[in-house]
Structure 1
Amino acid sequence: MEPPEERAMSDAKASNIAASSDSPTPTPGVTAPFTALLIAVLSFSLMQTMVVPALPDLQREFDASTTGISWVISSFLLTASVATALLGRVGDMFGKRRVPIASLTVFAVGTLLCAVANSLGLLIAARAVQGVGSAAFPLAFGIVREQFPRKRVPVAIGMISSTFGIGFGIGLVIPGPIVDALSWHWIFWLGLVVIVLGILAVAAFIKESPNRSPGRIDWIGVVLLSGAVVALLLAISEGRSWGWGSAGVISLFVAAVVLGAVFVAAERRIQEPLIDIDLLRRPAVATSHVAALIIGFGMYGAFTLVPLLAQTPSQAGYGFGASVTEAGLFMVPMAVTMLFASPLVSRLGAAIGWKLPLVLACLIGLVGFVIYAGAHDSEWAMYVGSGVLGIGVGFAFAALANLVVSAVDPRQVGEATGINTIMRTIGGSLGAQIGASIVASKTVPGTPFPAESGYTTAFVMSAVALGVATLAALAGPGSLRKNAAASTGAAAPEPSGSPAR
């Protein structure tokens, strides 16, 4: 039995923790760390899509095939997915400040190599190096949960989540003017500036994590998970060029399933696994991962299909004949509404819980795609659809991140949010590729342009996916409305002595 003196000291310590967590105002210096995390996350999210508008220029300069140039995107996606899972766990083990600085430094090296690349092979390899920067995203959530006042955690996580999406959207807007005025190399030079700022800000303003999940790196799990993710994303990214029914694509899908099953079986037998399988089975965590997969499938298609539709010449019977720069402007309303939606839903979620905001995110996104499907012959309707979809994306990113963070121990935040990010990436990759395949399946007779019906079908597919995501969100644990104390308490940092597993 615990001696009275020790029990009194423990009670006093717990009271101090609770008092500091319940502080209604930020602790000194919170603004600078928060800004540092925003810059770090923004630097990575920008680099995901900034290269997309420049792909036609890259294809001409390197005289590459469509399949070859697609590896500029695929190589980044593959390494980022693997690094997200591995470095999220490594950050939980060795420190959520040390690991992001290291990953961002590698990210900067990859970006520098992209900027000076003079061959397609070097550019693809450099993009693969860039993917290591993905660790900044999941570990930022762990830093917020550990170092920010409890009442500020939901809003901070929501803003960081939306910054990821905003950077994704802005990355499709600003490269056009840069390429027109300078060259595609400057996309990476300017991106490098943001990355360096992120490294300096994290080094200067982020404290090292007080919570660690000690152990050894599960290299067997790393190899198996990496193999499963790479096989799956490679099959998705090459499905259009190889053929969805080709032996290569089918073999990759089978390999992904087999490796995934072996990974789960191995993790159950390892004392210190890369991924805690029991963690994935928690209802709140499992629901968030399923919802992230379906939401990614539904929402990410808009990031690529809307600019393509806008650039279609009017002689095709639809489209607006927009330049690359003008097409990017159709994404601006999405970025703007995401910026405002995130703090709004974060306060809503902190007050009533995160289930209802996630359901609303799916329904609002569904409305955005209905507008796209039914009124894409009007520029103003496309702008409205982008604005509505931006609200849905902002709600979804904030709700998913907060659901995961509030459901796990502080020592497992990097691990859990890393998997959630992978699920959204896989869903987004699958949705974007299938949507693009649908659009490319038919052309306007006598022209090389896709038929308008392809875009309509793709937008309807995304709306249906978000309808399914709504059902997945409703199936999650808990009611649509919780009392304020319960929902706020869920996001509170736990004492450092709490068990990791």
Structure 2
Amino acid sequence: MGNEIRITGAGPASHRPEPAETAALRSCTDAPPPSLLLCQNGGWFLLIPEGAETHMAHKDTRPHYNLVFSVLLLGIGAFSLLQSLVVPVLPELIRSLHTTQDTATWLMTGYLLSASVATPILGRIGDKVGKERVLVFTLCVLAAGSIVAALTDSAGIMIAARVLQGVGGGVLPLAFGIIRDEFPVQKLHAAVGLASALVAVGGGLGLVLAGPIVEHLNYHWLFWIPMIMTAVTAIAAIAFVPASPVRNPGPLNWLAALLLSVWLVCLLLAVSKGTKWGWHSGSILALFGGAVLGLIAWITAEMKSRTPLIDMRTMRIPAVWTTNVVAIAAGACMFATMTFLPQFIQTPRMLAGYGLSASITRSGLYMLPMAVSMFVLGVAAAPLAKQFGAKSVVLLGSVLMAVSFAGLAQRPDAAWQVCLAVTVIGAGLGLVFSASSAVIVSAVPPAQTGAATGINANIRTVGGAIGAAVSGSILTSTVTAGHRPPLPTEAGYSHIFWFLTAVAMIAIAASALVPATRAPRSAFDDEPSAAKYARESS
């Protein structure tokens, strides 16, 4: 069971008050309450669950959870900035790197694909060897990728650097796991929700900051600045992020990791190259077939594994799988919007007959309301979920996204129309991302909180990669050679927004199926989550 500390004393347990020695010991260790005291053979026994002694030993030496949280937020912010900093300047990068629209799209797709594969693998390694160690490693890889991207003038090398940066996606499950370990249960939902919202908010800020950085410095600084942030975070993580109190030893399922990579690469190659190679060509059909077979083989391998990358039993929980469907749709909507709406805004009206003829900086300002509303509603999602239920908040956010994309599909030609649409999109994304985390945290056992939220973040990234690839394929199919440089038609952007409307409708349907959950209250809500799990599992 647990370790026993004997406190001497006589008398029946039903008639004896809690000894002063045990009360003092409990106040120093966050040990279980008096109900777990046993009186046996004339002596008092205080049962301390396995793992609680670790918490007792480190209680006074572990940094405050708010300090740890600040370090984690800085790392998440650096990763999320890199998601979108290149987006508003894609036209500039196409010219500077002497490449094409189709190739430049892989600056986003390669990044998201790498993150999709790296997220569950690094999360599992973190559970095995220590989350704080893998967090530092991940931040170092992210910084290295940023250095390579900052130094190159080659499209191929920059895409490779973006793939390296995508490894930084491991920051998300590691951060969620550390939050689970360090935060009191009472504050766990708000912390996970804020961290989830920051992924979207950081992406929105990247759209705003990219223009001034390029215009006043150059595009190389799009990578130098996140590199500096990442390096500072890595040093802070070494100094302030404590060792993981909970670990899950066991072999890494390398077969599952390989199969996950295979089906994701096949799927994203198929959707991104379908227009160029032909949707009915043998290559595209083979890629889709490989994706399906790889997916089936991956699920089979995960279900048979004792130490899966992604626990399929957790995926079958109704609140988890429905929320994950919403995450796929919301991820597709967010990354497609961040990738292609700035290009629409920057399109010169005199040449193309549409667009707002905005500079890079001005297009970022058009996207600023999206970042602001994402942050405001992401923070407001927790009290709204407490008042109306997380399911209602996720459903509302999905509806807001669908309405906004339908409006953009009508080919707006005024700045205020675009600003209104992106504000509502940001509000919807902020509500969905933050409340989705609350749904999952409430639905899964404490031991699976980090894994389940990590899966949700990973699926959001997969959805983003698919959304960006499909939208890029749609837009590339409408590029005309009548302009110098070649430009997509207005219908191409309209088709993208109708596609995203349909995706948001899928999110609405999945949101309606999310079961209503409410987080149970506990007498131990102030206890750190890892210590609480150790007590409950003893």
Q: TM-score by structure 2 length?
A: 0.82
3-state SS of paired residue (1:473): helix
3-state SS of paired residue (1:376): coil
Equivalent residue number for residue 319 of structure 1? 355
In the TM superposition, residue 484 of structure 1 has moved relative to its aligned partner by 7.5
- 54-63 or 164-173, which deviates more: 54-63
Gaps of 5+ in 2: 5-12, 14-33, 39-44, 56-61
Q: Which amino acid aligns with 2:516?
A: G
Residues 143, 230 of structure 2: 8 Å contact kept: yes
Residues 177, 451 of structure 2: 8 Å contact kept: no
Q: Does 1:464 align with 2:493?
A: no
Q: Does 1:338 align with 2:397?
A: no
Residues 30, 148 of structure 1: 8 Å contact kept: yes
What is the distance in 2 between the residues matched to 1:361 and 1:53? 25
In the TM superposition, residue 369 of structure 1 has moved relative to its aligned partner by 1.9
Equivalent residue number for residue 515 of structure 2? 477
Q: Does 1:8 align with 2:33?
A: no
Q: Which amino acid aligns with 2:165?
A: Q
Q: Which amino acid aligns with 2:289?
A: V
Select the residue among 382, 387, 406 that pairs with 2:418: 382
In the TM superposition, residue 449 of structure 1 has moved relative to its aligned partner by 4.2
- 171-180 or 391-400, which deviates more: 171-180
Distance 1:375 1:243, change over 3 A: closer
Q: Give the total of aligned pairs.
A: 486
In the TM superposition, residue 131 of structure 1 has moved relative to its aligned partner by 1.6
Equivalent residue number for residue 149 of structure 1? 184
In the TM superposition, residue 84 of structure 1 has moved relative to its aligned partner by 0.5
Q: Which amino acid aligns with 2:424?
A: V
1:424-443 superposed matches below 5 A:
424-442=460-478
Distance 1:302 1:405, change over 3 A: same
In the TM superposition, residue 118 of structure 1 has moved relative to its aligned partner by 4.3
In the TM superposition, residue 59 of structure 1 has moved relative to its aligned partner by 3.2
In the TM superposition, residue 86 of structure 1 has moved relative to its aligned partner by 0.5
Equivalent residue number for residue 428 of structure 2? 392
Gaps of 5+ in 1: 21-26
Q: Does 1:114 align with 2:149?
A: yes
Q: Does 1:126 align with 2:155?
A: no
Equivalent residue number for residue 231 of structure 1? 266
Equivalent residue number for residue 82 of structure 1? 117
Q: TM-score by structure 1 length?
A: 0.87
Residues 138, 413 of structure 1: 8 Å contact kept: no
Provide, for residues 26-78 of structure 1, a one-character-per-residue CA deviation record: whole Å limited to 9, x for no partner: x9833322211110001111112212333333333343344443433333222
Equivalent residue number for residue 24 of structure 1? none
Select the residue among 122, 132, 148 that pairs with 1:97: 132
Distance 1:108 1:375, change over 3 A: same
Distance 1:497 1:93, change over 3 A: farther
What is the distance in 1 between the residues matched to 2:286 and 2:409? 34
What is the distance in 2 between the residues matched to 1:421 and 1:248? 31
Q: Does 1:371 align with 2:400?
A: no
Residues 406, 492 of structure 1: 8 Å contact kept: no
Residues 50, 175 of structure 1: 8 Å contact kept: yes
Residues 95, 209 of structure 1: 8 Å contact kept: yes
Provide, for residues 167-196 of structure 1, a one-character-per-residue CA deviation record: whole Å limited to 9, x for no partner: 112222222222222222111111111111
Q: Which amino acid aligns with 2:336?
A: G
Q: Which amino acid aligns with 2:107?
A: V
Residues 67, 241 of structure 1: 8 Å contact kept: no
What is the distance in 2 between the residues matched to 1:463 and 1:275? 30
Residues 117, 123 of structure 1: 8 Å contact kept: yes
Select the residue among 309, 320, 344 that pairs with 1:285: 320
Equivalent residue number for residue 455 of structure 1? 493
Q: Does 1:38 align with 2:76?
A: no
What is the distance in 2 between the residues matched to 1:236 and 1:415? 28
- 370-379 or 307-316, which deviates more: 370-379
Residues 118, 167 of structure 2: 8 Å contact kept: yes
Distance 1:136 1:65, change over 3 A: same
- 36-45 or 365-374, which deviates more: 365-374
Q: Which has the larger radius of gyration?
A: 2
Equivalent residue number for residue 243 of structure 2? 208
Equivalent residue number for residue 194 of structure 1? 229
CA RMSD of superposed structures (Å): 3.1
What is the distance in 1 between the residues matched to 2:510 and 2:272? 26
Q: Which amino acid aligns with 2:436?
A: L
3-state SS of paired residue (1:295): helix
1:392-431 superposed matches below 5 A:
392-431=428-467
Q: Which amino acid aligns with 1:8?
A: L
Residues 377, 431 of structure 2: 8 Å contact kept: yes
Residues 475, 488 of structure 2: 8 Å contact kept: yes
3-state SS of paired residue (1:398): helix
Distance 1:65 1:452, change over 3 A: closer
What is the distance in 2 between the residues matched to 1:50 and 1:143? 27
Q: Which amino acid aligns with 1:378?
A: A
